[in-house]
């Protein structure tokens, strides 16, 4: 391939500016490294580009989604399930979806900010129940980094002393909303504990950022920078050090290597110019999101690395997982016509339910937590999900408007988010014949849930229906059957895809060591969700941030010692 030769050799080249890449860039620039960051998407700044204070009714679309703004036209995430010119394929019989962002900050411009630490058991599940694999590190290895992430980024929550839900360094949580209190009361009556959420939104001024003013619009990006996005909390200060060169619209193609088998840099497509370029660096850090990092390695083939880079074990692309998800929405008649009151708060629920049961007494391994929703959000397109389904819904003109007023805020939903166990049927590989618009071979997915996940989804459905019944509510959809997979979401759909370049102590069964450094290529690291060995019943991003911080610090230390 021909590309323009670059003279400058950076200390580190990072690919991707989401949670992992942003943290790696922040840590390494603070440590004084000269860093270049390649980001496939365009520039974005929440302080100026966010639509935080826009009413949905200001637009003829009423805030409805578009192909590029899946979650609404004012949403902060540019990307989607389906990117122009960037396909992926599925093996026959496979259902799998892949949500990608293309912008500075990646998916952290929209994400739900649910920021849960993995617990001590989550790193050693195989030792506990014999399934999957243990991590090569323990909770105590990561705890100091979780603490640092808490202090730097800011998170609210409450101290609960639960065995596998470690407390963090929390700012005060906001008070529960009315509907959240009703859910909590009903949940506790059926034996499910409900506690304050743990979200990376600052409820007090923190590190020169103002406290949240409770506009509830986090998914649009925060103009006051009161929630976490990689864009404004990590990349912006990294740029201020003067040590970071951020190259946007730069789609990495492959990692280049020299005769000794060391990484020398990354080739990328300059999307604006339509030209291939190469950036040189002493260390390469992949953080393009778990599956895209696996793709980059699989595409970095050479005579020396015929199976792709860092893949002598053959595990790159394997052991991929997503969070399990199944949900129930309920209409709560006693919440109709309620006294109008202010339910403003953070852009997310103020309460949640961590896993509370003992799997030894259940017919499935591993747990799930419950995310809740409902209340008086800003109405927009698709509001109430079809008013004709409600007893007083439908009609025209004044009757319809009255029905909307009556029903506003009279529904709740409960969503399970659980742990999947990696299995041999879930993996990605390079499609032998399909390439993207730049000629880069694309991923082909294979996916099959096991009975563990289906049984867990059944338990979610039964539990959520019991809570809604306890609230005196009505569920419109019947209990999904075994044939319907108990409502288990399609793989990838929960957007917590992890693994694909897993870490481990044994180079025969893992691609990275306990520091996320490639066993085969000592100056190559991975800093997103790809190194994860298991999923846990927690959302992954707080662990991606902690792990990326640890990896960045390790690189800085090895460079100081002259070992990189
Ligand atoms: C709707 C939604 C809600 C979510 N809610 C939560 C939540 O509440 N809690 C939680 O923990 N997680 C949540 N997540 C998941 C969270 O967003 C991800 O875990 C996190 O962003 C992953 O970080 P990352 O750095 O691995 O990847 P990303 O944030 O996806 O960033 C990857 C970046 O790499 C760039 N890139 C990709 N390929 C290339 C290439 N070849 N060359 C150059 N650049 C490239 C992309 O453009 C992107 O900017 C949510 C996600 C979504 C979409
Ligand atoms: S709810 Fe708070 S953190 Fe979220 S966008 Fe509004 S002010 Fe920012």
- Pair type for strands 275-286 and 9-15: parallel
Tell me: pLDDT of 2 over 60.
no
Burial annotation 226-245 (CB, 10 A radius, 16+ → b, else e): bbbbbbbbbbbbbeebebbe
Q: Looking at residue 258, what is its pLDDT? A: 96
Q: Which of 222-231, 328-337, 372-381 has the highest mean pLDDT?
A: 222-231
Is residue 426 within 6 Å of ligand 2 at its C-beta? no
Query: Three-state DSSP class for 474?
Result: strand
Among all ligands shown, which has an atom nearest to the Cα of 288? 1
Q: Looking at residue 395, what is its pLDDT? A: 83
CA dist., res. 455 & res. 458, Å (int): 5
What CA–CA distances, in Å, run from 267 to 210, 250, 483, 516?
40, 9, 46, 22
The DSSP result for 298-310, as a single string, is HH---SS-TT-TT
Question: What are the helix and strand counts (H, E) for the chain?
Answer: 11, 18
Tell me: pLDDT of 514 over 70.
yes
**9 forms bridges with which residues in the sheet?**
280
Please name which of 495, 197, 195, 486 lies closest in space to residue 364, comparing C-alpha atoms.
486
Residue appearing with tokens 């008070």? 175
CA dist., res. 119 & res. 167, Å (int): 9
Token pair listed for 283: 């260390």
Q: Where are the beta strands (DSSP E) in 157-210?
A: 195-196
Q: Looking at residue 6, what is its pLDDT? A: 64
pLDDT band at 523 (very low <50, low <70, confident <90, very high): very high
Q: Looking at residue 5, what is its pLDDT? A: 57
Most ligand 1 atoms within 8 A of CB, residue of 541, 546, 548 to mutate: 541
Most ligand 1 atoms within 8 A of CB, residue of 44, 107, 200, 248 to mutate: 107
Most ligand 1 atoms within 8 A of CB, residue of 13, 14, 15, 16 to mutate: 16
Residue range 19-49, pLDDT digits in tens = 999 999 999 999 999 999 999 999 999 999 9
CB atoms within 10 A of CB 192: 22
Please name which of 68, 51, 47 lies closest in space to residue 59, comparing C-alpha atoms.
51
What is the distance in A from the centroid of ligand 2 to the CA of 324?
28
CA dist., res. 125 & res. 468, Å (int): 32
Over residues 429-444, mean pLDDT: 98
Among 6-20, 56-70, 367-381, the range scoring the smallest mean pLDDT is: 56-70
Strand order in the sheet with 368-374: 195-196, 351-353, 368-374, 411-418, 324-331, 474-475
Dihedral of the alpha carbons of 10, 16, 19, 24, in degrees to the nearest 10: -10
Among 64-73, 202-211, 258-267, 531-540, the range scoring the smallest mean pLDDT is: 64-73
Token pair listed for 128: 């506990």
| Phi–psi pair at 385, nearest 5 degrees | 60, 35
Q: Looking at residue 319, what is its pLDDT? A: 98
pLDDT band at 7 (very low <50, low <70, confident <90, very high): confident
Q: Which residue's CA is minimally distant from atom 4 of ligand 2?
A: 218
Token pair listed for 116: 């849960």
| Closest ligand 1 atom to Cα of 99 | 53
What is the distance in A from the centroid of ligand 1 to the CA of 361?
36
Q: Looking at residue 71, what is its pLDDT? A: 85
What is the distance in A from the centroid of ligand 2 to the CA of 155?
13
pLDDT band at 387 (very low <50, low <70, confident <90, very high): confident
Q: Looking at residue 137, what is its pLDDT? A: 98
Please name which of 494, 511, 501, 503 lies closest in space to residue 449, comparing C-alpha atoms.
494
**At a CB cut-off of 8 Å and minimum separation 6, what does 333 contact?**
391, 410, 472, 473, 474
91-96: long-range contacts, CB 8 A cutoff, minimum separation 24: 91/444, 91/445, 91/446, 94/445, 94/446, 94/447, 94/448, 95/447, 95/490, 95/491, 96/445, 96/447, 96/490, 96/491, 96/492
What is the distance in A from the centroid of ligand 1 to the CA of 258?
30
Helices 178-189 and 451-470: crossing angle in degrees, nearest 10, is 110
Q: How crowded is the C-beta side of 471, counted as CA atoms within 13 Å?
A: 32
Q: Looking at residue 488, what is its pLDDT? A: 98
DSSP 96: B
Residue range 209-255, pLDDT digits in tens = 999 999 999 999 999 999 999 999 999 999 999 999 999 999 999 99
CA dist., res. 229 & res. 233, Å (int): 6
Among all ligands shown, which has an atom nearest to the Cα of 113? 1
Token pair listed for 529: 């969700």
Q: Which residue's CA is minimally distant from atom 38 of ligand 1?
A: 288
Q: Looking at residue 96, what is its pLDDT? A: 98
Q: How far apart are the first and last CA of the chain?
A: 27
Residue range 265-314, pLDDT digits in tens = 999 999 999 999 999 999 999 999 999 999 999 999 999 999 999 999 99
């Amino acid at each position: 391939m021909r590309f323009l030769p670059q003279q400058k050799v950076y200390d580190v080249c990072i690919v991707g500016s989401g949670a992992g890449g942003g943290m790696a860039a922040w840590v390494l620039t603070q440590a004084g490294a000269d860093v270049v960051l390649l980001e496939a998407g365009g520039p974005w700044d929440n302080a100026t580009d966010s639509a935080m204070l826009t009413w949905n009714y200001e637009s003829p679309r009423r805030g409805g989604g578009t192909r590029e703004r899946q979650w609404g036209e004012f949403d902060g995430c540019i990307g989607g399930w389906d990117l122009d010119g960037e396909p992926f394929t599925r093996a026959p019989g496979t259902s799998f979806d892949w949500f990608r962002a293309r912008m500075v900050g990646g998916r952290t411009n929209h994400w739900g900010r649910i920021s849960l630490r993995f617990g001590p058991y989550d790193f050693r599940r195989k030792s506990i129940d014999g399934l999957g694999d243990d991590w090569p590190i323990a909770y105590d290895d990561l705890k100091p980094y979780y603490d640092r992430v808490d202090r730097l980024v800011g998170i609210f929550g409450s101290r609960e002393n639960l065995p596998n839900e470690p407390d963090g360094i929390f700012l005060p949580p906001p008070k529960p909303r009315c509907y959240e209190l009703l859910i909590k009361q009903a949940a506790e009556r059926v034996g499910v504990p409900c506690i304050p959420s743990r979200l990376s939104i600052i409820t007090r001024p923190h590190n020169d950022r103002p406290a949240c003013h409770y506009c509830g619009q986090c998914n649009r990006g925060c103009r006051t920078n009161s929630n976490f996005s990689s864009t404004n909390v990590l990349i912006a200060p990294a740029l201020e050090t003067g040590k970071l060169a951020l190259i946007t619209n730069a789609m990495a193609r492959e990692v280049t290597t020299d005769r000794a088998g060391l990484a020398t840099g990354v080739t990328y497509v300059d999307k604006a110019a339509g030209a291939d370029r190469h950036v040189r660096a002493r260390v390469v850090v992949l953080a393009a999101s778990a599956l895209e990092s696996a793709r980059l390695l699989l595409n970095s083939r050479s005579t020396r690395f015929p199976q792709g880079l860092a893949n002598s074990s053959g595990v790159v692309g394997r052991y991929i997982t997503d969070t399990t998800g199944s949900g129930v929405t309920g209409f709560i008649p006693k919440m109709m016509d309620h006294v109008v009151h202010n339910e403003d708060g953070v852009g997310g629920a103020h309460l949640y339910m961590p896993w509370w049961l003992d799997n030894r007494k259940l017919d499935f391994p591993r747990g799930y937590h419950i995310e809740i929703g409902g209340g008086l959000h800003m109405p927009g397109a698709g509001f109430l999900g079809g008013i004709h389904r409600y007893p007083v819904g439908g009609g025209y003109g004044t009757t319809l408007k009255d029905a909307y007023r009556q029903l506003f805020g009279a529904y709740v939903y409960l969503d399970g988010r659980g742990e999947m166990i990696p299995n041999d049927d879930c993996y990605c590989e390079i499609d032998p014949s399909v390439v993207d618009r730049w000629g880069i071979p694309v991923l082909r997915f294979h996916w099959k849930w096991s009975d563990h996940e289906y049984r867990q989804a059944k338990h979610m459905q039964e539990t959520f229906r019991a809570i809604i019944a306890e609230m005196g509510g009505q569920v419109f959809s019947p209990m999904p059957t075994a044939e319907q997979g108990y409502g288990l979401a399609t793989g990838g759909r929960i957007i917590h895809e992890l693994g694909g370049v897993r870490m481990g102590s044994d180079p025969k069964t893992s691609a990275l060591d306990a520091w996320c450094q490639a066993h085969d290529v000592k100056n190559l690291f991975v800093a997103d969700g790809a190194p994860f060995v298991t999923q846990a019943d927690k959302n992954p991003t707080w662990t991606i941030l902690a792990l990326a911080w640890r990896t960045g610090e390790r690189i800085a230390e090895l460079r100081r010692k002259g070992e990189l």
